[in-house]
Chains A and B, each alone.
Chain A
């Protein structure tokens, strides 16, 4: 059952990252900016908690699965142990990325300037949002690459690891 739960949680996490990159991002081109902002905000609010919950479930069920491998396999002298260590590293990186996106990069996308702004201040505010969008794009791609690398590491575990 733990194997099922970890697989399902990982599927939701990776599937979510893929949908955001391959479905939502291209679909945005057909919507007005104001509606993209609203949809992004609602989506981001829900997705961040779902992603963090899935990462927590992966950690809990992953830990529950480890003792089943038998004693002596979880050391850095075995391929299995090194692969698990790399997976833990990926997990820490993913948590840091999701937290960074949820509580820093995402709010910066929806930062609102004061109503009475000088043209220079308005331009600066727009430039700030542009930078925030580029930063968010870069973070989402890094997240996807790390998630795909972690999937490869995980796929090798039933065969004894790959490192």
Chain B
């Protein structure tokens, strides 16, 4: 175990990043999204756009902080060789760490799709001289994009609920696969 304060600060930053991503996603879905339905569609669209823009920034910051504070935690616990794959699959702790990193990577991929592919599609505007068929096609395209975003958001929520499960195993023991709920898998 390395410096006490280094470990505490690493855990603190990790918890804040996790709360921002996990709690933030849930509150955006359950509270902000719910309130959005209570105002007229034009204002709801503005509210959705502004809150989503800001939350996206917050979510990316949280994913970055999760990575940095996760590496700091590995150093604090002197298990940093595992981050290079050294003995990663030899213990329940290593398996849990691998699970967390894998889930984090999925969140980054999903976030990239949302930020760089789907959201720009929603922001594109049509020219004034377009026909009804083009408007209809554009609306269909927008609806499809919104549905894809909803699916990714839901998948992210499920993953975001799984990440703290792996984290709790690491913080309070030797990981999920030895003493936690996944112990029957026998990967310890």
Chain A residues proximal to chain B, CB less than 8 Å: 1, 3-4, 7-8, 10-16, 18-20, 22-24, 26-27, 30-32, 35, 38-40, 42-43, 46-47, 50, 148, 151-152, 154-156, 158-159, 162
**A39: B residues at CB distance < 8 A:** 35-36, 38-39, 47
Asked if B4 CB lies within 8 Å of chain A CBs, one says yes
Q: Which of B8, B14, B27 contacts A162 (CB 8 A)?
A: B8
Q: Which of B32, B34, B161 contacts A23 (CB 8 A)?
A: B32
Decide if A12 touches B50 in the complex (CB within 8 Å): no
* Whole-angstrom distance between the Cβ of A75 and the nearest chain B Cβ: 21
* Whole-angstrom distance between the Cβ of A130 and the nearest chain B Cβ: 22
Decide if A24 touches B23 in the complex (CB within 8 Å): no
Decide if A11 touches B18 in the complex (CB within 8 Å): yes
Decide if A15 touches B43 in the complex (CB within 8 Å): no
Decide if B34 touches A46 in the complex (CB within 8 Å): yes
Given contacts A24-B32, A46-B34, contact A4 B165 (CB under 8 A): yes
Q: Annotate B8-31 by CB proximity to A: 1 below 8 A, 0 otherwise.
A: 110110111011111111111011
* Whole-angstrom distance between the Cβ of A29 and the nearest chain B Cβ: 8
8 tightest CB-CB pairs across the interface, nearest first?
A15-B23, A14-B19, A155-B12, A3-B168, A27-B50, A155-B11, A11-B23, A4-B168
Q: Annotate B155-170 by CB proximity to A: 1 below 8 A, 0 otherwise.
A: 0000001001101110
Decide if B32 touches A154 in the complex (CB within 8 Å): no
Decide if A42 touches B19 in the complex (CB within 8 Å): no
**B19: A residues at CB distance < 8 A:** 10-15, 18, 151
In whole angstroms, what is the CA distance A18 to B31 when docked?
Answer: 13
* Whole-angstrom distance between the Cβ of B164 and the nearest chain A Cβ: 5
* Whole-angstrom distance between the Cβ of A38 and the nearest chain B Cβ: 6
Decide if B15 touches A50 in the complex (CB within 8 Å): no
* Whole-angstrom distance between the Cβ of B70 and the nearest chain A Cβ: 14
Max count, chain A CB within 10 A of own CB: residue among B18, B19, B32, B43 = B19
Asked if B58 CB lies within 8 Å of chain A CBs, one says yes
**B11: A residues at CB distance < 8 A:** 155-156, 158-159
List, sorted by A's number, 14 A–B pairs whose CB atoms are closer than 8 Å.
Answer: A4-B169, A7-B18, A8-B161, A15-B21, A23-B54, A23-B58, A31-B46, A39-B38, A42-B35, A46-B31, A151-B16, A152-B8, A155-B8, A162-B8
**B104: A residues at CB distance < 8 A:** none
Q: Which of A3, A8, A32 contacts B171 (CB 8 A)?
A: A3
Decide if A8 touches B27 in the complex (CB within 8 Å): no
**B51: A residues at CB distance < 8 A:** 23-24, 27
In whole angstroms, what is the CA distance A31 to B43 when docked?
Answer: 7
Q: Which of A12, A22, A42, A43 contacts B22 (CB 8 A)?
A: A12
* Whole-angstrom distance between the Cβ of B26 and the nearest chain A Cβ: 5
* Whole-angstrom distance between the Cβ of A11 and the nearest chain B Cβ: 4
Decide if A43 touches B20 in the complex (CB within 8 Å): no
Decide if B40 touches A13 in the complex (CB within 8 Å): no
**A35: B residues at CB distance < 8 A:** 39-40, 43, 47
In whole angstroms, what is the CA distance A12 to B161 when docked?
Answer: 11
In whole angstroms, what is the CA distance A151 to B10 when docked?
Answer: 12
